[in-house]
Structure 1
């Protein structure tokens, strides 16, 4: 048998009996995929790991708490033999052979009638890697190949074009705080499949250079607005490109719904009958402080953190922020888009009870190569911003957590 290559096949196990012998680490790794395939899984083992036991308690598998007995593989379509009893494994393997049940053995691949490939998934595609014969079996090598293929599909470096017609639409992708490695796997894949990308200034710009030449990249800040409001013009561009049958990605910094006006775009697309997918992103409100060594919460220091927009000053009638209430909180305050208003913000917080000695950190260009951190207090922050020439984009962190990180 070892002289011939294994024949790869995909088993459709929905509703079909699968018997697993042994409740240890092998079963713990293999059971989730069998459950996801819809198999009727019967586990035979006197003991099981905590995770396997939890699957049984949840009703995902049937657990017979005993050792293997002759007849356990009757009516099974597939068997996984993974006990620490070699003799029991051999007897079960022989029973599987008599009943023509495809059987995997964790202790002896040569004696098995089936092998488990190294598998991974990427948006509707399953990648399974097998060695060609038992003599050449190297699980680490096949797993490495699997990982390389899946990673390539997920990050867009391995692009497989769709040959079936895709439904045109728009994906609102949160690009994260700036470092291109911090975009989500799904966001990067959709970006690699896009025909048109409409990008914000604060999106991860380095990713745009990786796009194929045919992808049209549009700077949202440079869309000709005419008599339209900027956001209205962006909405119209999304709709028009989608109506042309193109896959459109709206690449935004951070998360689309955290001060990103993402819902306005979703609503405009819905009114136009354009399907839209929203891909969350890592918000700069937590990732940028973290990159600068600042935890927004810490045991015994801060039990809550509040994120506010500082794009309008506290005394501006358009402000929706309850600054007096924020001044009374003891946790962390994170201010986005507030560099040019930080003087008024600090003055207001102090006027409503915050100590002028409250620590403040400003993290400019967080998570990028240009990142820098400037520390101050509420009483000195306005002067510090001017003296240090702190410019947007910068995340402002106010509270005692500023003093406890390694960068303090």
Structure 2
């Protein structure tokens, strides 16, 4: 069958180009992620892991059961979050070496992140363990845990303790944290979590540069904040891509890649280019006029006002589309349910039009900060 028409459009060539751009934009989920949590026994490493993964006290019980490899050594715990993500909780790398299994041998060959946990007053002898860890890691985050020990003293005392640790370990940055309350027998009514947000944020930023952030964040109990990031990033991209000749290729690929990222975030499964892009026609059928305009505009030279209109349409359609996918996946439904996709998309499409009308922006580039806009939008389906 001839895929070209009288206008010269070659359907097969178009989708081949989309698939190529999708591969460039989609996350590489074939990678692995190894994280070492190193620190003395009773330094609160397990609680720190739970806090980083945004676990509740009830969910903390599950962390030790799901994927845990027990009975290795007294002080070593290996948490296999999935086939690609391993966390090792140990007093030091010597304990990992002593275990000498195939898992730990492979782990020691490459550790993406080392989280070095200390507590109490500074101990210069810890520098040896830190230097050992540094030789195996791409990046190290040093944590002074259990800062609640200093709550009853003058704040200057904690500042002095932090400075002493920095001096003895020869480091520039340390994260003061408290991760109290994960013990299910704890009598404190509320968990006391401090300093973990900045640590988690910096770890995610580092992993994002390596293309491995999605591997970790999919294991976090609360996923909405990262879904917001995926959607906001896609909106910024399509808003700019609308100004590029042949923009339909790039916009379609960006939408497909964002769908694949959301799918992995919620399911832990990899969506093929064919499957991710195959969802888009369902949405196109609900926005025929706008989609046709975007498609036709993509083959025209830059024209100022039309480019701004195309950018606005690309952003509103993409926001409604990705909000729909996020809603369905976060509720545990299947994105293969076409009628559900259509119904939710119609709802979100109306909402996007109302949102941008309320903002009163004639130029989409004048919109406020994207993440805040998307977060607010997702709260009101």
- How does the TM-score come out when normalised to structure 1? 0.22
- How does the TM-score come out when normalised to structure 2? 0.23
**With CA pairs under 8 Å and 6+ residues apart, which has the higher RCO, 1 or 2?**
2
Structure with the larger helix share: 2
Bigger Cα Rg: 1
